[in-house]
Amino acid sequence: MAENNFHPNEPTQAAVEASRSRVMNWFSKTATLLQWATMESPLGTIYLARNSAGLCSLNFGVSEAEFLGGLDLRARTENNPDALALVIAQLREYFAGTRSRFDVPVDLSQMTPFQRNVLHAAEAIPAGKVLTYGQIAQDIGKPRASRAVGQALGSNPVPIIVPCHRVVGSDGSMTGYSGGGGVASKKWLLHMEGAL
């Protein structure tokens, strides 16, 4: 007698496909869309991503897989250089020495209010100048928070655009950098801007 492989509680292949189709349809309508692109720079390949609010991720010194793996896993991703054309154009001007500040929307909504205050203070530092972690702490009204300032800068999702490289130790030392390449990249950026 032939063995019957039919199990009444198992879904059919057609039911599985229909379910997958419903899930993908729902996902395409409700999941956040992250558009991303790359550009070449003196620091290597820069990876950029934006959501509907603005630039939400910038990284370099990593692989494409590492960059994409660091984005919101609940989001849809789409390689779309046109969506990041303004950021890419301004970064090219920056590396050519014709731009020192960026005028692009940035989304820092995933940061805490303290982290956002620190990053906004870093944004105000002009090219060619540096401040210390202590000076940033003082500027945001938290004079004893130098270490927390360093941690907030270390979680900057959009280095270069928000110039956390312009913040140094109290003795002028290069104590860390959230961008790819670490301290070597920080020194390179400060040298390019004329601060070293």
Active-site residue numbers? 164
Distance (Å, rounded) from C-alpha 28 to C-alpha 48?
21
Q: What is the token pair recorded at 77?
A: 């991703």
- CB atoms < 10 A from the CB of 132, how many? 18
The packing angle between helices 146-154 and 113-123, to 10°, is: 80
Q: Is 140 in contact with 121 (CB distance < 8 Å)?
A: yes
Distance (Å, rounded) from C-alpha 129 to C-alpha 143?
20
Contact residues for 104 (Cβ-Cβ < 8 A; gap 6+):
54, 55, 86, 87, 90, 161
Amino acid at 184: A
Q: Is 176 in contact with 154 (CB distance < 8 Å)?
A: yes
Look at the block and give the residue holding tokens 């990249």. 185
Contact residues for 138 (Cβ-Cβ < 8 A; gap 6+):
none
